[in-house]
Structure 1
Amino acid sequence: MCHVLTKESLQMKLSVLLENRLKNTKMIITNKPEIVQYKQKNLNKTKYCVCKTLGPALMLARLFGVFPVSWRHTTEKCVYEKSLTWLIYTGFVIIFQIFVTYSNVNYSNLLNATLLVIIDNLTNLYYSHYVVLITLLGFFKFTAYITTLNTLASTLKDGVLCQSAMRRVVLLQYAIFASLALVATFQIILYIWLNNSTSYEANFSIMNILYRMFMNFSFGLYAVVFTIFGLLIGSLACFEKYTLNCLKYVPVHPLRDIDDSNNSSDFMGIIHYKLCTENHFITSQMLDLKPADVVENLRIYHEEFSLCIYSWNKSMDLLFLTHTVMELAVLIVDWYAVIAYLVYSFKAPIAATMNILNLFYVVSHTYGLFLFLKNCQALKNIIHGLVTFLLEYSTRITDPEEHQQVRFFIEKINNHRPFTASGVFTIDLGIAGPIAANILTYVLVALQFEVPKE
């Protein structure tokens, strides 16, 4: 019996045949669909690199005179190098800072005033010398900064630090700059209001206001430090995702809202956001390895990244030590001034003005120091946070070689050196309690002495 193919039936058979052929072709091409999606995503969204990501904060550091380094982007990587122009500029900044410091401090009448004015003069004196010291440290340690940033740029390989994480670091910098501008604007408005107010005695000249704005140097330093912390934390968040995908990690309670990941952060404790939004699929090189070799490669990369953190800590340790000690000393003095104004009554009209300035200082700098310690703690948490997943993963392993590599990985993370200030103390939220106790102790002791009512 002969079947006659109509035009409609022929078109239907051809369409079915073509659809099957396309399916087979797709299966051959996308034999590893996760890798294809991963590579396409990076090719389409490649916009940021390490030097572009850190650019805004490092430019601010150059203007402040603490980072006399230039950078350029080659076809393969970001390169940081010495800049003679910015070294000369830093020299002029140091000369200008010394001039401003000694032209605005009257050493002959430094102690011939009321108590609160004396405290204000001492605060300005200490802090202006602190600014000069920090700038000098940046001038003499710029080679260490170059080494650290070049090592960091070469370690953050394409695919581990994703575009979404770098984009959030850039947005973090803009948010920090906006906060600094808001604080500076509020401070200027406060000085103008005190000058024009009939309730307070104040006579701030333009030069005096600029000198007091000069005392906000530490906030600019925070902008640079918080940015580098953000890059390190974002990189580790990406690495955590990549590690879980390489190990094919499955949560213990997938149906419950229990999230042990470290993929979340916040800005000043107010705005919460995800550090990384990409998937970080396993690469083709890792797919071809044995499970034990996969764990070993992950451990080696984690060790390389740890060396970058050690290098950055070593290049900034004196700066962190100087900053923390100076902030503690000045906060003790200014908190005493604020509490003394509340406890005692002062006859001098300018005492109320000095109290407002001291109150603004202690609130802003206490919060800034807290955020500094909080960022150090966040970096510590995300470094050690991977241990939770590795311990759980180790209970499912049957291969002795892979189990040994996982245990070795866990030991390496547990022995990670803490972030320190020249080895004098560890920098994290753990020292917030001792700092607060020191401030309270010295203030209570100082309040036992009689204060002149003048």
Structure 2
Amino acid sequence: MAIQNIKVAPITKKTQANKNSLCFCQTVSPIFFFIKCFGILPVTTTHENNKCIFKRSWPWTIYCGIVFSLYMYQIIVNVDYENILTNKSLIVLLNQMTNAVYAHYVLIIVLAAYIKLPKYTTTMNKFAQVFKHGILCQSARRIVLTTQYCIISLFICLAASQAGLYYWLHQSETHHTNFSISDFFFRFSQTISLVFYSKFFGVVAVIIGGFACFEKLLISSLKYTPVHPLAGIDETNNERDFLGVIHYKLCRSEHHILAEFSTLTAAELVEYLRMYHEDLCLCIYAWNDCIDPMFLIHTVLELAILIIHWYAVVAHVVYNFKSPMASTIHILNCVFAIFHTYGLYLFLKNAQNIKNMIQGLTNFLLEYSTRISSLDEHQQVRLFIEKLKNHRPFTASGVFTIDLGIAGPISANILTYVLVALQFEIPKE
């Protein structure tokens, strides 16, 4: 039996052209242009048969090669491999180790992105194909676009604050400084890790926007009724915030099943929604494969460096170091530890948001299952719920899951290693 009393969207809505409408490549263009400026992912977009096509850009490839060569040259010139471990001052030694690690990490980011460039283009083309039929609608795309500009603006503000801090320390009479070009290069290389976050946050914004539209489509198609309509409990995932300050809705449009699908039976409709949801999840898995093993490398590296920096911060408070640069390095370490700790938290939180949006659909399906009597429909709903339960979230090469669940162990590791390291006597130079 065909579905009754279900709202449908006219087919003409899908084909009407709007001069102000955003295509998929325009939606993601800010973040991709931003990371290309740092020599990462030399991709470009074209349109073929009204479809967005991502492919390699040879001019940008040449540019990325030049940037990679400059990174390599700066590392060779500025990293003193012979004397890096012979410095007697512990604070300076830890700072130099961090500089060397992050300088090489930049090369890994650029090189890994170039090696996996074909997979990136294939994945983004898959994104463009899946986000259709109103999923990632115009309102959601504008929100995604605004979010990406906010991410880029935040990065610029952080970089400007770093430059301002350097200038203040250099002009301060109470802090001894001995800055050189290599110091600025190393500080810049540490900021590059935030570019990795920017790329991740930008793509996550696209994925979350698509799932917000799908959630509305699911609610409309299944005629979901809130379990506690009078309690003011919002079980949807349409509300988001930026840094906990700016609150906004991911999607402001109404989503209804397309007219050509209105003749489907109830069981067929649930099956269609499940298959479409699987396509969205496949995009997540493909993006995870693109990022791996950078998820693992980045998380382990950030954990190790945060242990070093939080130890340096606490050690400066506990001990009095004789080095004239100690107070200056302490301030830089504090800023680094705070920025990168918060960046790691946002990284895990964004991955958790996707996980919550996928698993949150279970509530709607469970409520819908109480209103069905058809065996076929019940089987489709049950299959849909099982698929949601078995969803594979972002993982770091299968070693651990990327979500807020590892925030506790990471914090415990940092605290444990810092407390253990403080038990050893250290030189006061």
TM-score (norm 1): 0.90
Give the corresponding residue for 2:291: 316
Q: Which runs of 5+ in 1 are unaligned?
A: 1-30
1:419 alignment partner in structure 2: 394
Q: Residue in 2 aligned with 1:86?
A: 60
In structure 1, distance between residues paired with 2:262 and 2:7: 12
Letter paired with 1:423: G
Pair 1:367 & 2:342 matched: yes
Q: Match of 2:149?
A: 174
- Give, as a single letter, the amino acid of the residue that structure 2 aligns with 1:94: F
1:132-211 → structure 2 map (5 Å cutoff): 132-206=107-181, 208-211=183-186
Paired residues for 1:15-414 under 5 Å: 35-36=9-10, 39=13, 43-44=17-18, 47-110=21-84, 111-206=86-181, 208-414=183-389
Residue 38 of structure 1 and its aligned partner are, at CA, apart by 8.7
| Aligned-pair CA distance for 1:210 | 4.1
Quote the offset at 1:143 in angstroms: 0.7
Alpha-carbon distance, 1:213 to partner: 2.2
Mapped to 2, the partners of 1:45 and 1:321 lie a distance apart of 43
Determine what percentage of the aligned residue pairs are the same residue.
50
Q: Is the 8 A contact 1:265 1:273 kept in 2?
A: yes
Q: Which residue of 2 aligns with 1:6?
A: none
Work out the number of aligned pairs and report it: 424
Aligned-pair CA distance for 1:99: 1.0
CA distance in 2, matches of 1:274, 1:333: 39
Q: 2: CA distance between counterparts of 1:38 and 1:267?
A: 35
Greater displacement, 432-441 / 98-107: 98-107
Alignment check: 8 A CA contact 2:21 2:138 kept: yes
Contact 1:419 1:426 in 2 (8 A): yes
Q: For residues 106-157 of structure 1, what are the alpha-carbon distances to aligned partners after superposition, in whole Å with 9 as ceiling and x for unaligned? A: 3343232411111111000001111111111011110110111011111111
1:153-208 CA distance string (max 9 Å, x none):
11111312111111011101111111111111111111111111110000223553
Contact preservation (8 Å) 1:49, 1:78: yes
Q: 2:80 is matched by which residue type in structure 1?
A: N
Secondary structure, counterpart of 2:423 in structure 1 = coil
Asked if the contact 2:24–2:128 (Cα under 8 Å) also holds between the matched residues in 1, the reply is: yes
The answer to whether the 8 A contact 2:43-2:57 is kept is yes
CA contact 1:421–1:427 (8 Å) conserved in 2: yes
For 2:6 and 2:374, the matched residues in 1 are separated by 25
The alignment partner of 1:218 has SS state of: helix
Q: What amino acid is aligned across from residue 305 of structure 2 in structure 1? A: V
**Match of 1:11?**
none
- 1:214 Cα deviation from its structure 2 partner: 2.9
**Contact 2:11/2:258 (<8 A) preserved:** no
Amino acid across the alignment from 1:35: A
CA RMSD of aligned residues (A): 1.9
CA contact (8 A) 1:66 1:137 kept: no
**Structure 2 stretches of 5 or more lacking a match?**
none
Report how far residue 398 of structure 1 moved. 1.3
* Residue pair 2:71, 2:107 contacting (<8 A) in 1 also: yes
Higher radius of gyration, 1 or 2 = 1
Which secondary structure does the structure 2 equivalent of 1:64 belong to? coil
Q: Is the 8 A contact 2:10 2:258 kept in 1?
A: no
User: 1:38–1:198: structure 2 CA closer, same or farther, 3 Å change rule?
Assistant: farther
